Structures are given as structure tokens and as C-alpha cells.
């Protein structure tokens, strides 16, 4: 076993609780040698994280997490080694963040119609400068005494299929793969064990994904074995990580516990070199 690499985590630039500095420092304390910050629809944390990585001796890979839709189901795509200065990528991410605000406003309106008096201002205060999402809505509901726990907010109101649920902007997996590729990166299907059917997985493989997130807190040993087998069969890359957010998500025990060997990152770099040389 080589050095540990955690390739899935979030900062305050999306729905995480820690700043780039705090997160990089914490990953060093947890014995991680390589990390990728994969904020939702944002690469704002990357420049600072790269500098703090040098300070703490942690290799930081530029990353991003995008939401796509397939057959009315949400699919999350991870992009690794993206050019975080790419204007095309930045333009798309700006558009996605604006769509997130519109979605949050629709969810709050639905909550209000259900006699849940949440204010959009409260949600935006929780989001700060990050990409607003349902975690911010759930946190605001708890803080305003509208629900007792973060999970209750999802279970009763804003979870998938809930009475205040609103779909995100429709963006296909193929479009996500193309956007990541045009930004010089590699595309991976995130935490497939949560929602992915074999049919959906086949569609994504045909769409050109480079790899699968095999290691994730939501994956059972059976999931890990299954997706490792799929990756091997289709010559896909493997990634993995803690999906760490901190704060109210109660995932503090995941950091340093869910990771892949650094050799997986080396394989990713070789694949990337082949892509760029072809």
C-alpha cells in the first residue's frame, strides 16, 4: 500500500464547512498525501488550495463535481485535472451557479406553500460565496427551528421526491463528459452505488467516461467489488474518496478512512498524458 489519496471533498466554495486552508491542513493531519477538491459547480477553491498544498506537503489535484440528468435521475460527475482557468469551464460554472440560485428560490417557495416559513435570505447566508444547494437549505431550516435535524429536512421536505423537491437544470452526462474533456480533465462517475442502474452505467460508459469512483462512504464491500470489476472489464480508471463536507453532514469520521492508493493517481496521470498526446 502506497500513500493515501482522497479524491472527493468539498470546501466553503460549495457546500462544505471548511475553507481551502482549513481543509488542506486537516487532510495533512489525517495522513493524506494527495487530495482533489471537487466543489459543486465551482473551482474557486483550487488556486488557494494549490498554494496551501505546497505549504503542507500535500499534492492537490484540481477538481470539480457536476450534476447531470439521465432518465429523470440525477447523476454526479467528477472532473479531475481540469484547467481551472479555462474560460469555457468558468462560463458554464457561472451559469450553473445562477441556476442553483433559481432552484433554491423555487424550493423555498414550495416550502412556504407548505407552511414552512423559510426565508431565501437565510439560505443564502448559509451558502455565503459558495454554490447554493440543498445542504444550505437544510441547515437554514434547522437554524430557524423549522426542523430538528439536517436529515429531517431532507426526509420530510427537500429530499428526492419530497414535497418541496425541485429538479436541477437538465445537463446530460455526455455534455458533462465533453465539458470536462474540453477543460483538459478526466471524467468519473461519482458514487454510483447510490443510484446507478446497470443500464445507466452502460450509457455513461458509451458517453466516454474515463473512470468510476469505486471507493465511497456509501459503497458496501459488494459495491466496491462490483464497480472495480466493471472498471477492469471496460478499461476504466478507478478513483475514490471521503466525499467530506464537515459541519452538519456528520462525516468527520470519513476523512482519512476512505481513499485510494496513490498508484491510482499515477495511472490517471498516464491516461491523461495519452489523451493529450493523441
pLDDT for 81-126, tens place per residue? Answer: 999 999 999 999 999 889 989 999 999 999 999 999 999 999 999 9
Which residues, 6+ apart, have CB-to-CB distance to 249 below 8 Å? 17, 135, 150
In the chain, % of residues over pLDDT 70: 98
Q: Which residue has the higher pLDDT, 136 or 253?
A: 136
Summary mean pLDDT of the chain: 93
Distance, in Å, from the CA atom of 233 to the CA atom of 188, rounded to the nearest integer, reads 16
Domains, the chain, with CATH or none: 4-85+170-277 (3.20.20.140), 93-158 (1.10.150.650)
Distance, in Å, from the CA atom of 179 to the CA atom of 15, rounded to the nearest integer, reads 22
Report the predicted TM-score, pTM, of the whole model to 2 decimal places: 0.87
Residue that has been written with the C-alpha cell 431532507 in this structure? 154
Distance, in Å, from the CA atom of 46 to the CA atom of 67, rounded to the nearest integer, reads 19
- Provide the β-strand partners of residue 76: 67
Q: pLDDT at residue 248 above 90?
A: no
Amino acid at each position: 500500500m502506497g500513500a493515501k489519496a482522497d479524491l472527493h471533498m468539498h470546501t466553503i466554495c460549495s457546500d462544505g464547512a471548511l475553507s481551502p486552508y482549513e481543509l488542506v491542513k486537516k487532510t495533512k493531519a489525517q495522513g493524506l498525501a494527495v487530495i482533489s477538491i471537487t466543489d459543486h459547480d465551482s473551482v474557486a477553491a483550487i488556486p488557494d488550495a494549490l498554494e496551501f498544498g505546497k505549504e503542507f506537503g500535500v499534492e492537490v489535484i484540481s477538481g470539480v463535481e457536476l450534476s447531470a440528468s439521465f432518465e429523470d435521475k440525477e447523476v454526479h460527475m467528477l472532473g479531475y485535472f481540469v484547467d481551472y482557468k479555462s474560460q469555457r469551464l468558468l462560463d458554464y460554472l457561472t451559469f450553473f451557479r445562477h441556476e442553483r440560485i433559481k432552484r433554491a428560490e423555487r424550493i423555498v417557495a414550495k416550502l412556504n406553500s407548505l407552511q414552512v416559513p423559510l426565508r431565501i435570505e437565510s439560505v443564502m447566508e448559509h451558502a455565503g460565496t459558495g454554490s447554493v444547494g440543498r445542504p444550505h437549505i437544510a441547515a437554514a431550516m434547522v437554524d430557524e427551528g423549522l426542523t430538528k435535524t439536517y436529515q429531517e429536512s431532507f426526509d420530510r421536505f427537500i429530499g428526492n421526491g419530497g414535497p418541496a423537491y425541485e429538479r436541477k437544470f437538465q445537463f446530460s452526462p455526455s455534455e458533462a463528459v465533453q465539458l470536462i474533456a474540453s477543460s483538459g480533465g478526466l471524467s468519473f462517475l461519482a458514487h454510483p452505488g447510490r443510484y446507478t442502474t446497470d443500464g445507466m452505467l452502460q450509457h455513461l460508459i458509451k458517453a466516454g467516461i474515463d473512470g468510476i469512483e469505486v471507493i465511497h462512504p456509501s459503497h458496501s464491500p459488494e459495491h466496491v467489488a462490483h464497480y472495480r470489476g466493471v472498471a477492469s472489464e471496460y478499461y476504466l480508471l478507478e478513483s475514490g474518496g471521503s466525499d467530506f463536507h464537515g459541519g452538519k453532514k456528520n462525516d468527520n469520521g470519513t476523512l482519512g478512512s476512505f481513499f485510494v492508493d496513490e498508484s491510482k493517481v499515477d495511472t490517471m496521470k498516464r491516461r491523461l498524458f495519452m489523451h493529450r498526446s493523441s
